[in-house]
Amino acid sequence: MSRAEIWTFGDLRTAQQWRASQKVLVKALTVAKEADAAVSMILIGAPEGTPAASPLNDPGACVGLKEAAAQAAAIGAQTVYCLTHPLLAAPRADLYARVLADFVQQRKPWLIFLPLNDFGRETAAIGAQRCQAGLIADCVAPLIENGRFVGRCPAWGGQILADIVLADGWPTAFVTVPPHGVQIPVNPSAVGRIETIALSRIALPEGLSLVQRGLESEEGKRLEEAETVVVGGAGLGDMQGFGLVRELAGALGGEVGATRPPVMNHWVDEERLIGQTGKTVRPRLLVSAGTSGAVQYTAGIMESETIVAIDRDPAAPIFQIADIGIVADAKTLLPILNQRAQQSALRRLADATCALTPSETEEAPKAGFGAIVRQLREARNWSQADLAHATGQTPEFIAHVEEDKLSPPVSFILGMAQAMKIDPGTFLRKEERAVLRDRRAQAYYQRTQAYSYVTLTPEAANSHLRAFMITIEAQRDHKPVAYKHEGEEFIYVLEGDLGLTLDAKEHTLKPGESIHFNSDVPHKLKSLSTQPTRCLVVLYTV
């Protein structure tokens, strides 16, 4: 009888996944040594030189088969099998699992190790089902005991380690293995055999197509480098509850992380997973809400400087490692924390604009302002168009603010506060509120001095709501330049035709017609009639 074989599946999607596969190969070599088994590496991909038909199957985006095969052979795989077909250029767990399963059925290896990640997990599950083999998931310690393979796997949220063996009559098992805890040998020099098997036919799984494929976003990378991370767990209950974590992260200028349940429930992208099978973070502040503190999760947060844990169960293990533990219902506490954090974020915005100086619009953009606006917007899952709508701006304006290309006036911050339902009185300083009030009074005074303004709300210099009657001479501009001031404006035309230039857009209003706009947008009035135009103007300022 030939020697039993242990195979390792090589994940070539990225250099990082390939490194993880090499580590799993090292683990397979250790097991094989004890069991006197042979080790092979299985690589799947397109034959060299396959032209990319689309970005979805661009083989250039993966680690090359040839290069990987040579490395695996040097590390110690006795045989490296390269299974190739042009349709295998884009890695797909469903497709690769079929190819792997077919090969397993032909060659009947003993064990097939796959790196423990979502791709490996899916490939193993489909592969095991297709060839009716065993499946040992999340095997943290692959062992040989009395000549039998034993997969030691965490169970019950990591509270126990279960030893799983193959039942009699089940000669083959797929095993997902975490890559941690071993080193890839430096300058390995083993001489393995490389065998390329060009597959003649591939049957694409029916009903499924690859829609998108791409590298991890910059946001995902930012998580590992973030100074502040807010992690949500199963205790948040649902997508909406998890939104509270996003809001807090946005307001604190931090990144969102998650334990496994929110990822499995698709409340958040997989790239946000923290822990043994996810990312390791090293922030100065980590807030962990509704997370019990399973070892597989805490493995990814232990290097945080300060851990604040919120859990309603005082016995939750997370409190054993937290610097500050808060026993509370996260859904009650997080909105309060969010409110405070958003107030302080808006305060930072106010500091960044220095908008209470007279020449608001000519200010040089303040670095960091755009990032705060973007974080606050993303925390609420708003698009730039949503924020533009909520603040009465254009999406281009928001884009420019976020790119720090322009420095917005204080009215923009007030608009944001209004959209976020935060009272400016809670984040503006007393003297700033006084300056705002004075400016309002000054503007009021200037307006009422102009012959064309008649105030309808005398003694209202400091009020939020003020009304004026405006008369514009026939066929004349109201003012030579466009107005721009914080707040909102309502115009109701009483007599004559009114021409309103709002930003660059022209509007014509007939008697009886009205308009409402953000008065921070430059606006200019003129009479379009042969008689004076009379309008009722109501200003609202915070």
Q: How far is the CB of 325 from ligand FAD (least distance, A)?
A: 12
All residues at 6 or more sequence positions from 73 whose CB lies less than 8 Å from its CB, including other chains: 41, 80, 190, 191, 192, 193, 194
CA 134 centroid distance within chain? 36
Cβ-based neighbour number of residue 332 at 10 Å: 10
Task: Give whichever of 270 and 386 is closer to ligand FAD, judged by the CB atom.
Answer: 270
All residues at 6 or more sequence positions from 64 whose CB lies less than 8 Å from its CB, including other chains: 12, 48
For 496, the token pair is: 């004559």
Q: Tokens 């300056």, residue?
A: 435
Q: How far is the CB of 135 from ligand FAD (least distance, A)?
A: 14
Task: Give whichever of 95 and 310 is closer to ligand FAD, judged by the CB atom.
Answer: 310
Task: Give whichever of 63 and 334 is closer to ligand FAD, judged by the CB atom.
Answer: 334
Task: Give whichever of 274 and 379 is closer to ligand FAD, judged by the CB atom.
Answer: 274
Q: What does the DSSP 8-state code read for residue 217?
A: P
Tell me the one-letter amino acid at 246: R
Three-state secondary-structure class, residue 408: coil
The span from the first CA to the last CA of the chain, in angstroms, equals 86
Q: Which of 336, 337, 315 is nearest to 327 (CA)?
A: 315
Task: Give whichever of 101 and 330 is closer to ligand FAD, judged by the CB atom.
Answer: 330
Q: How far is the CB of 262 from ligand FAD (least distance, A)?
A: 7
Binding site for ligand FAD (CB under 6 A): 138, 154, 157-158, 233-235, 259-261, 273-278, 290-292, 294, 296-297, 310-313, 316, 329-331
Task: Give whichever of 40 and 288 is closer to ligand FAD, judged by the CB atom.
Answer: 288
Question: Using CA atoms, how far apart are residues 482 and 492, in angstroms rounded to an integer?
Answer: 19
Helix (H) or strand (E) segment spanning residue 355: none
The residues that bridge with 245 in the sheet, in sequence order, are none
Q: How far is the CB of 116 from ligand FAD (least distance, A)?
A: 7
Sheet strands (E) in 85-239? 111-115, 134-136, 141-145, 148-155, 160-165, 173-177, 193-198, 228-232
Residues present in the chain in total: 542
Q: How far is the CB of 292 from ligand FAD (least distance, A)?
A: 3
Cβ-based neighbour number of residue 326 at 10 Å: 16
Q: Pairing relation of β-strands 141-145 and 285-289?
A: unpaired
For helices 384-391 and 410-419, give the axis angle rounded to 10 degrees. 100
All residues at 6 or more sequence positions from 436 whose CB lies less than 8 Å from its CB, including other chains: 356, 410, 428, 542
Task: Give whichever of 135 and 509 is closer to ligand FAD, judged by the CB atom.
Answer: 135
Q: How far is the CB of 173 from ligand FAD (least distance, A)?
A: 16
Q: How far is the CB of 279 from ligand FAD (least distance, A)?
A: 8
The CB-based long-range contact list for 303-307 (8 Å cut-off, 24+ gap) reads 304/229
Q: How far is the CB of 111 from ligand FAD (least distance, A)?
A: 17
Task: Give whichever of 103 and 149 is closer to ligand FAD, judged by the CB atom.
Answer: 149
Task: Give whichever of 196 and 280 is closer to ligand FAD, judged by the CB atom.
Answer: 280
Task: Give whichever of 45 and 142 is closer to ligand FAD, judged by the CB atom.
Answer: 142
Q: How far is the CB of 124 from ligand FAD (least distance, A)?
A: 13
Task: Give whichever of 314 and 358 is closer to ligand FAD, judged by the CB atom.
Answer: 314
Q: How far is the CB of 133 from ligand FAD (least distance, A)?
A: 20
Is residue 12 within 8 A of residue 89, CB to CB? The reply is no
Question: Using CA atoms, how far apart are residues 5 and 107, in angstroms rounded to an integer?
Answer: 9
For helices 330-353 and 410-419, give the axis angle rounded to 10 degrees. 170
